[in-house]
Structure formats: structure tokens, C-alpha cells
Amino acid sequence: MTMQPSTTRLMLVTPPVEDAEAFAFRLMQAMAGGDIAAIVLRLAPGDDRSRIERVKRLAGPVQANSVALVVEDNAVVATRGGADGVHLTGGPEAVAEARSSLKNERIIGAGSLRARHDAMDAGEAGVDYVMFGEPRPDGSVPPLPAVVERAGWWAEIFETPCVAYAPDAEAVAALAETGAEFVALGAWAFEDGQDIRALVENANAAIAACVARKAAR
């Protein structure tokens, strides 16, 4: 399975999900806002059985909207839950292990790439995308200019698609300008009181405006 868009598209990265039934409604709101390529599903702690059930509950409505569902850091849960792939944060070794078990049947993405050589190692290990700019373990995010620089560098040189993580809605346009194949809206987009449908609409509009500007140059 590949992830090769013809233009920049949106991805979503969820907060840790415990109640899949309730969260399904938020995802439906998001998908009603327009084009989304994929959703990276982060799961709250629990035994594998309960986590698999959460994936199963969300995979159906997500995939019915032609959106890929990618589960963070657990290839077994992703596979048994019927997800489209796995998003790994454990480095090239985790990628190699997942590629061995999943073959080419599911998407494998890589995140938590803190240095250029980490991204290159992940690319050489055969990932379908690399992600730059997502929150660190302490919850802080890299400075936006650093993410813009890293995404622009990767997009210009490498064929493997990259995802640029937006720390807020205002960053979407700058990240789309880098040529990144995907821009990700993170857990902040799902916060209480946030109109996620409008966020997705506005983010897609910002991407479309960027594409129009580039075409006019």
C-alpha cells in the first residue's frame, strides 16, 4: 500500500483514544469538513483485546470515507483491528520489524525523527512516509521554522512522502509551502469546544490557496 498524493493533503493525529464510541462522532465531524488522506490513531493504554476493539470500532466509518486509518506503535493491534497501517516512533529497528511482519500489505509511517539521519535511516528501512514536527514526549513542539526547514529539505531531495505536523491552524499554509505531501493537524484539533469540521475546511482552503499561488508563479 502506498501514499503518493498528487498535491498536499491533510492528515489528522488523534489524542489517546479510550472511548471509541464517543470518538467516532468527532471523526465523522472532521471528515465532513473535506479531504483527509489519513488518520493516525493514538490509543489510550489497555490490553491488546480492548485496543483491538477500539480500532475495529473506528476503522469502519473512517475507511468508508476513503480515509486510511493508521495506528500508532502497535502493528499487531493495527492488523487485527483492520487498520490500514501503523505509525512507528521506535526508530529503524521498529520499522524493519514491522516491514518483516506486514510485508507491503499495510502502510508503515515513521515519526519522532529528531535528526536528519534518523529520517534518512527510516527512509532506507522502507517506510511509506516520515513525519516531522510532532510533539516531543514532554508535550512541547519544535519551533515552526525548524519544521518548515526540515520538511522543505526532505520534500526537495527524497521521494518518500513526508508529513509536516502543524502546531496550530495558522501554521498550515507555511507547511504546505514546503512541498510536503501531507500536513497533519494534531490532538489540539480535537479539543473540547474546537469546531473540527471548520478546522478541516479552513486547512484544505489554505492548502488550495498555496497550490494556486505555486501554479501562478
Domains of the chain: 9-216 (3.20.20.70)
Q: Reply yes or no on whether the pLDDT at 208 is more than 70.
A: yes
Longest Cα separation, the chain: 53
Q: Reply yes or no on whether the pLDDT at 43 is more than 50.
A: yes
pLDDT at 22: 94
Q: Reply yes or no on whether the pLDDT at 4 is more than 60.
A: no
> pTM for the full model?
0.94
Query: What are the backbone dihedrals phi and psi of residue 66, each rounded to the nearest 5 degrees, phi first?
Result: 60, 35
CB contact set of 86 (below 8 Å; sequence gap of 6+): 70, 71, 72, 73, 74, 75, 78, 98, 102, 106, 107, 108, 109
pLDDT tens digits, residue range 62-89? 999 999 999 999 999 999 999 999 999 9
Q: What is the mean pLDDT of residues 138-151?
A: 94
pLDDT tens digits, residue range 154-179? 999 999 999 999 999 999 999 999 99
Q: What is the mean pLDDT of residues 2-10?
A: 70
pLDDT at 137: 85
pLDDT at 3: 54
Q: Reply yes or no on whether the pLDDT at 5 is more than 70.
A: no
- Start-to-end C-alpha separation, the chain: 34
pLDDT at 61: 95
State the Cα–Cα distance between residues 107 and 122, nearest whole angstrom: 13
Residue-wise over 18-47: b if at least 16 C-beta within 10 A, else e?
eebeebbebbebbbebbbbbbbbbbbeeee
Tell me what the pLDDT averaged over the chain comes to: 93
Helix, strand, coil % in the chain, rounded to nearest 5: 45, 15, 35
Q: Are 95 and 72 in contact (CB under 8 A)?
A: no
Q: What is the mean pLDDT of residues 200-216?
A: 91
Share of the chain above pLDDT 90, in %: 80
pLDDT at 1: 46
Q: Reply yes or no on whether the pLDDT at 6 is more than 60.
A: no
